[in-house]
Homo-oligomer: A and B are copies of this chain.
Amino acid sequence: MPWTVDDLDTPAVLIDLDRVEANLGRAQAYADAHGLRLRPHIKTHKLPELARLQVELGAVGITCQKIGEAEVMADAGLDDILLTFNLIGRAKLTRLVALARRVRLGVAIDNEIVARGLSDAMAGVGLELPVLVECDTGAERCGVQSAEEATALARIVAALPGLRFDGLMTYPPKHRTLQVNAWLSEAKAAVEAAGIECRTVSNGGTPDLYSAHQVAVATEHRPGTYIYSDRSLVAGGFGTFEDCALRVLTTVVSRPTDGRAILDAGSKTFSSDTLGLPDYGYFVEYPQLVLEKFSEEHGHVDCSASNARPAVGERVTVIPNHACVVSNLFDTVYGVRGDRVERAFKVAARGLVQ
């Protein structure tokens, strides 16, 4: 007897593998058509199995944010990893050196203190760590603020033992591809005018994945959420609900009033991320239901706009606003095709905060 979705207890995270393969195939075909390398960010799935699939389909390597994620991926055979985070402190740097000895590892930095820490850690190792300088092209998170700052930091990196300046990296603002291209082009030209080779320009993000070619200076792109998509991406014009591969199976446990239903899944399942939407998820079977708020273990559903309303005990499927954070809340997710459960995945890179 096949194992089906009906056999799973709730709440459960379903990963539709047909949709995953379609999403990855489409992105790789786009990247290939534009001569762009893909280096997917594993934050969305946190699964070595899907990271391997991304590489099998043509990705040049992967992106991680934490040393612990990179260690898990290296253990699973991923051998080309970019760490896009300023790494500080003896514990992390010791692990970084160990990792650099066994995989092709690169890092991104945005300041001299981090550069000097990396150099001190790499001293005497006999390897040169490739370093990208992170650029704030408008997202206002990390990153140097100008082409001049990028050049100054590139000079420092190029002069430090144990490091090799490899290029520029950005986490871009949404829907400003031309601005991002102008910023990075100017910075690359400034670095090269200083006599420093700039081999890699790494751009990122799913919202502009299919206009990534407009950032013509970029040599690689680091999309994350494209593998699963989610409601916030659909709301932003990226594909449709049909593309959403991560779905949460829940049970209606209470119908205290005609207008209210309560799910067995709250912020401990979905997180509290809205990503700017007025509510928390899309009900596949009941599009008019509104997932209006969460307690930690309860989802509060406003049924008032829907003629069709689920009964106590009924299972309903929710596409969350933000898929990545759901992956981090589950130890196990289930790979499905249609109603058939193909396999359980241990979320091996979940919860790795360091």
Chain A, interface residues (CB within 8 Å), range: 35 or more
CA distance A89 to B313 in the complex (A): 8
Interface contact B267-A273, CB-CB below 8 Å: yes
A52 in contact (CB, < 8 A): no
CA distance A271 to B297 in the complex (A): 14
A314 to chain B minimum Cβ distance, whole angstroms, is 10
User: Given the known A-B contacts A268-B353, A271-B267, A351-B330, are A88 and B142 also in contact in the complex, defined by CB atoms under 8 Å?
Assistant: no
A148 in contact (CB, < 8 A): no
A28 in contact (CB, < 8 A): no
Contacts of A324 in B (CB 8 A): 296
A226 to chain B minimum Cβ distance, whole angstroms, is 16
Q: CB-defined interface of A91-112 with B at 8 Å, one 1/0 digit per residue? A: 1100000000000000000110
Closest B residue by C-beta to A86: B253
A200 in contact (CB, < 8 A): no
User: Given the known A-B contacts A268-B328, A272-B272, A330-B353, are A253 and B85 also in contact in the complex, defined by CB atoms under 8 Å?
Assistant: yes
Closest B residue by C-beta to A140: B260
Contacts of A110 in B (CB 8 A): 254, 256
Closest B residue by C-beta to A90: B9
Chain B CB count within 10 A is highest, among A9, A141, A254, A297, for: A254
Interface contact A10-B354, CB-CB below 8 Å: yes
Interface contact A114-B256, CB-CB below 8 Å: no
A229 in contact (CB, < 8 A): no
Which residues in A have some Cβ–Cβ distance to B below 8 Å? 9-11, 43, 65-66, 85-86, 88-89, 91-92, 110-111, 113-114, 117, 136, 140-145, 251, 253-257, 260, 262, 264-265, 267-269, 271-274, 295-298, 300, 311-313, 324-325, 328-331, 351, 353-354
